[in-house]
Amino acid sequence: MRNDPRSIRIVIHGKAAGRMDVREAVKAARARGHRVEVSVTWEAGDAARLAELAVAAGQAIVVAGGGDGTVNEVATGLMRASSSADCRPAIGILPLGTANDLAHACGIPLDPAEALRLVTDGHPQPIDVGRVQDRVFVNVATGGFGTQVTLETPPELKQHLGGAAYLLTGLSRFTSVRSLPASLHGPGFEWEGAFLVLAIGNGRQAGGGHVLCPNALVNDGLLDVRILPEPKPGDLNRTLAAFLQEGLGAFERIVVKARLPWVEVASADSMNVNLDGEPIAGERLRFEITPGALRMFVPEDSPLLRR
């Protein structure tokens, strides 16, 4: 069955399973002759497990129906189920989350029917996958202020306000923000100091549309590393406000930049880091890229593809 491109498994987040536009999109794909099966998640970890089952069943395509966290879980399951990129099903994205940062940056349609048509009618492109410890990320790993905002934004607020929920949470957290002392090193790169924001990108944006890694490409074998150093005394609130409105683009002259196949981050204290919105923590973390680890359905003119 793996050689049959019409065999599709959709792993959909439970909160989106009842949407009528999703059901209509699945019906339309089946009407075009595709064998579409749908699995619904119940709790954390289900999407990765269901993706692994799809690999064992020999299905050609696994579609992540949800937000960036669901995409991360499905990618994790595909990577875990097979050590060979050639044996892994292609991955598609049905953007049904709060921010859908990876889908936005890739140019994947937000309409479920159009997104699923991209999967059924398109051709998957080889993409890189980031790794840190035993975890993977497809989009962006973030540390510092952006991570704090993502972790502290209530799910109910995201449900009602969408990506604006991150902005509201960020505005309410100004007084509790602290810079984090750390050191980073990679091939030909060394930096040490206190940072306000750290972004390590395979993709470009996170936290509800903030462009953190503008030069990232998903198929160039490199991570786009961006560091916003600790601001001068008295500039913290102004810096945070500019970051929430414009992302790291507001600090182009002072942001530390590097493009690396791997980078190690060390701190005396445990660091909280988000991988596609999924939290991890540690005092020493190594981020590295695995080139061409997955095949993903994205528009042929996606700005995240190296030509």
- Residues marked active site are found at 278
Helix (H) or strand (E) holding 107: none
Q: How far apart are CA 273 and CA 146, in angstroms?
A: 9
Q: How far apart are CA 200 and CA 86, in angstroms?
A: 26
CB neighbour burial string for 235-262, b if at least 16 within 10 angstroms, e if fewer: ebeebbebbbeebbebbeeebeebbbbb
Crossing angle of helices 164-172 and 236-246, in 10° steps, is 180
Q: How far apart are CA 92 and CA 96, in angstroms?
A: 12
Report long-range pairs for 302-307 (Cβ below 8 Å, ≥24 apart). 302/106, 302/107, 302/125, 303/105, 303/106, 303/107, 304/105, 304/106, 304/107, 304/203, 304/204, 304/216, 304/217, 304/218, 304/219, 305/125, 305/217, 305/218, 305/219, 306/217, 306/219, 306/220
Q: Are 248 and 199 in contact (CB under 8 A)?
A: yes
E strands, 26-179, are: 35-40, 61-66, 90-95, 125-132, 135-137, 140-144
Strands 35-40 and 125-132, by their bridges, are unpaired
Tokens of 105: 């940056």
Q: How far apart are CA 17 and CA 12, in angstroms?
A: 6
